[in-house]
Amino acid sequence: MTEDFDRHNTKMAKKKAARDKIMATKTEEKGLIIIHTGKGKGKSSSAFGMIFRCIAHKMPCAVVQFIKGGMNTGERDLIEQNFGELCEFHTMGEGFTWETQDRSRDIEMAQAAWAKAKELILDDSRRMVLLDEINIALRYDYLDVAEVRDWLLANKPPMTHVVLTGRNARDELIEIADLVTEMELVKHPFRSGVKAQAGVEF
């Protein structure tokens, strides 16, 4: 058993040396374009997790919610009540489009949200701006993907992280992103009759 442990420790020492060597080459700091997409859970909640990390580090940040006016109210209340001076919060959408059934209003909302997003991103005192569910607005062509891509490439301040969430991220954005994660659904309790629950879904 002691021999096993020694072997393990030696292996881990090698792993550490290899890892340290790799990490030593990672020296650059820059503002990233980050995308969370896929059908699984965690796209918005991990983006909010990063917003809370920013808040923890006293880094000014902001959130624009593009679509789901009705959800993620938990995070909004928590941020507005406790950390409003560090994190501006704008909810522009009015629920998913199948709730509103009014495409022209959806487009207006998405355009207003994008205008606000641009304003927030341009102020480089902010270190992270979360564009929550913007991918949905792009998928339904409420926003022009080429315009969003070109604007980000031309105007995002170098140290600002911009996080874009939502299913079906457009290829045009994936191409310019630095960090892309696809949340894959492996198992979901809705399938067995469990409803959306506080703490988990909202």
171 binds its own copies (CB under 8 A): no
Is there binding between residue 19 and its own copies (CB under 8 A)? yes
Whether the Cβ atoms of residue 202 and residue 196 lie closer than 8 Å to each other: yes
At closest approach, how far in Å is the CB of 46 from its own copies? 3
Q: Is 61 in the site for its own copies (CB under 8 A)?
A: yes
DSSP three-state, residue 17? helix
Instruction: State in angstroms the smallest separation of the CB of 182 from its own copies.
Output: 4
Residues numbered 95-124 forming contacts with its own copies, rule: CB under 8 A: 97-104
Q: How near is the Cβ of 195 to its own copies at its closest, in Å?
A: 4
Interface pick for its own copies out of 78, 112, 122, 145 (rule CB under 8 A):
78
The window from 16-24, 62-70, 114-122, 147-155 that contacts its own copies (CB under 8 A) reads 16-24
How far from 29 is each of 19, 32, 155, 159, 161, CA to CA, in Å? 19, 9, 18, 8, 11
Please tell me the distance from the alpha carbon of residue 93 to that of residue 199, in angstroms, as a whole number.
21
Distance of CA 35 to the CA centre of its chain: 6
Give the shortest CB-66-to-its own copies separation in angstroms. 16
CB of 158 closer than 8 Å to CB of 121: no
188: which residues sit within 8 A by CB, 6+ positions away? 41
CA distance 89 to 79: 8
From the list 26, 85, 154, 171, which residue makes contact with its own copies (rule: CB under 8 A)?
26
- Residue from 21, 30, 85, 171 touching its own copies (CB under 8 A): that is 30
Site membership for its own copies, residue 125 (CB under 8 A): no
Per-residue interface string for the shown chain with its own copies, residues 136-155, x marking contact by CB under 8 A: --------------------
User: Residue type for 26, please?
Assistant: K
